[in-house]
Structure 1
Amino acid sequence: MTHDDGRLGSFLRSRREKIDAASAGVVDNTRRRVKGLRREELALLAGLSPSYYARIEQGRDRHPSREILEALARVLRLDDTERAYLWSLAMAPPAPADNGTAPAPPVRPGVLHLLERWADLPAFVVGPRRDVLAGTALAARVNPAWSTGHNLIEFTFLDPRARTVYPDWEAISLQAVAGLRATAATRRAELDGFVAQMRERSETFRALWDSHDVYERVTGEKRLQVDGVGILRLSFEAFGLTGPEGHVLYLYFPRPGSTEDEALRSLAAVTTVSSKAPGR
């Protein structure tokens, strides 16, 4: 049995443990010894028999109907990303995982041209496994993880530089795993092998993956410790590139007129000169 054979039941169990029983309308005057909702409480709130819900959570029914999934999502107060993930778990099994050996589809020429035009900003493209497939020279200068050929997940959990580069490493590591789970909602065949490898290589990754948190951050702010510069606070936007490749473009930028703005301009000028030096 693989680590995710019971993924549907594990996800449901993790979500019901986060629901406050009283706020869900459960009246219980006894001393509760469990976190969140009991299995039978969730079943009744969703309009299911406790025995049938037990079958789902125990992995004996892995493909419940749309109506049942909607009822469970409602009681568990799942957001859109969590609902999508729940649906993916109840679908038919995907094609066999590639175990991370299949080559990533190349970045489209038009996207590469855009990256050349954005030399003054840290920008890069990743695949579903978070492999960095292309990026600006400034991206690699700001963060070694953003260099072509690196993997953002491996860097975060396996590279000792990560805790220095990311002053807020705990939050970033949690977000990285939750985002990877969100991607797994639609690309399980590509990610199952990679996730299995990471679970073996990092206890921290395994613990965060097994917490079953799932959400995506498509915009936000990140603090980075940059060599020779100090801490830069940069905003970012993530753009899913239309197509079967599953590529995502990340673009980082400073607030206009901020110290980060001035610092990035200086870094970009030096990086551009360096990249055009003879022998480069």
Structure 2
Amino acid sequence: MPSDDNQDDNRLGSFLRSRRERIDASSAGVVTHTRRRVKGLRREELALLAGMSPSYYTRIEQGRDRHPSREILEALATVLRLDDTERSHLWSLVAPSLAPAGDSGPAAVDTVRPGVLVLLERWGDLPAFVVGPRRDVLAGTNLAARVNPAWSPGNNLVEFTFLDPRARTTYVDWEDIALQAVAGLRTTAAARPGELDGFVASVRERSKTFRALWDAHDVYTRVSGRKRLAVDDVGTLSLDFETFALAGTEGHVLYVYFPVPGSTDDTALRGLAAEARGEGGQEDGGRP
């Protein structure tokens, strides 16, 4: 059977199988006296722990039952120890099967609203940018492009991470960022069924690392955090960030990065902001 879930539309089954395989059988209370030849829980073990027949669970995982009840999904989520993001993802995988044929969700729009562009112009002292559902950078401040080449309009954050050799230098913690990028994209893809399939297939074709992470079926939602970036002529900057989902059906998200006030990162970023404004302030704002 094809492992690419762009070819196999049984996304619910693929996700359940990936979560089942990560559960340690002994920690789930399964007692066995023989050597296990499969990782994680067996189908029949998960079914019994969730209070359903093995044959019924098998139908769900194989895609022969696409309409499990809320009670069934909640029981599976509990046994599989799904976190809040994974539970939401589980439900989003069921919802498309209930939608009318041909309904692929809202279409992506690449035009950023004029009001948001005005805000970005006024936020010139911060790295800030707007991305669409595929993680295309649609607009941003000049400082964002100076801090990270991926954060300039016309780039795609996922393609940069996996296909641009500069990514492993720019992102000090590249492995973590790569995993989060794929898991976040999968969450968005489930919420906007069909819209990202072509893009995902394209990156899978070009990156073995992306393909392996995508096939792990991890999901992830992160609205804030911190990134470490290697910036030319400055060194490593550690910046916090917040994300803001812009109202509307376009699926646009605003990212705003900022330093800890009074830190050396703050000083360096102020110098870069002056440089981006053409004031030549980098000589005082750079690090020794």
TM-score (norm 1): 0.92
Alpha-carbon distance between aligned partners in 2 of 1:118 and 1:18, rounded to the nearest angstrom? 44
Query: Which residue is 1:249 aligned to?
Result: 254
Displacement, 1:126?
0.4
Displacement, 1:14?
0.7
Does 2:170 match 1:165?
A: yes
Identity across matched positions, percent: 75
Paired residues of 1:131 and 1:151 also in contact (CA < 8 A): yes
Deviations 1:163-213 (A, max 9, x none): 111121111111100010111221122211111111111111111000001
Alpha-carbon distance between aligned partners in 1 of 2:66 and 2:47, rounded to the nearest angstrom? 16
Paired residues of 1:97 and 1:193 also in contact (CA < 8 A): no
Point out where structure 2 has 5 or more consecutive residues left out of the alignment: 281-288
Does 2:228 match 1:223?
A: yes
* Alignment-mate amino acid for residue 75 of structure 1: V
Secondary structure in 1 aligned to 2:250? coil
Displacement, 1:97?
6.3
1:141 to 121, 143, 146: 146
Alpha-carbon distance between aligned partners in 2 of 1:64 and 1:6, rounded to the nearest angstrom? 14
Paired residues of 1:134 and 1:148 also in contact (CA < 8 A): yes
* Alignment-mate amino acid for residue 183 of structure 1: T
Query: Which residue is 1:182 aligned to?
Result: 187
Query: Which residue is 1:92 aligned to?
Result: 96
Secondary structure in 1 aligned to 2:256? strand
Alpha-carbon distance between aligned partners in 1 of 2:60 and 2:217, rounded to the nearest angstrom? 17
Paired residues of 1:140 and 1:147 also in contact (CA < 8 A): yes
Secondary structure in 2 aligned to 1:185? helix
* Alignment-mate amino acid for residue 130 of structure 1: R
Compared with structure 1, are the counterparts of its residues 96 and 196 closer, same or farther at alpha carbon in structure 2 (3 Å cutoff)?
Answer: farther
Displacement, 1:103?
6.5
Displacement, 1:274?
7.0
* Alignment-mate amino acid for residue 165 of structure 2: P
Does 2:33 match 1:25?
A: no
Alpha-carbon distance between aligned partners in 1 of 2:229 and 2:247, rounded to the nearest angstrom? 29
* Alignment-mate amino acid for residue 220 of structure 1: G
RMSD across aligned C-alpha pairs, in angstroms? 1.9
Point out where structure 1 has 5 or more consecutive residues left out of the alignment: 276-280
Query: Which residue is 1:50 aligned to?
Result: 54
Secondary structure in 1 aligned to 2:196? helix
Alpha-carbon distance between aligned partners in 2 of 1:81 and 1:149, rounded to the nearest angstrom? 29
Query: Which residue is 2:217 aligned to?
Result: 212
Displacement, 1:58?
1.5
2:198 to 193, 196, 205: 193
Paired residues of 1:9 and 1:58 also in contact (CA < 8 A): yes
Displacement, 1:92?
3.2
Secondary structure in 2 aligned to 1:148? coil
Displacement, 1:31?
2.3
Query: Which residue is 1:261 aligned to?
Result: 266
Number of residue pairs matched? 272
Query: Which residue is 1:152 aligned to?
Result: 157
Paired residues of 1:234 and 1:253 also in contact (CA < 8 A): yes
Paired residues of 2:127 and 2:258 also in contact (CA < 8 A): yes
1:81 to 82, 85, 89: 85
Compared with structure 1, are the counterparts of its residues 54 and 161 closer, same or farther at alpha carbon in structure 2 (3 Å cutoff)?
Answer: same
Displacement, 1:4?
3.9
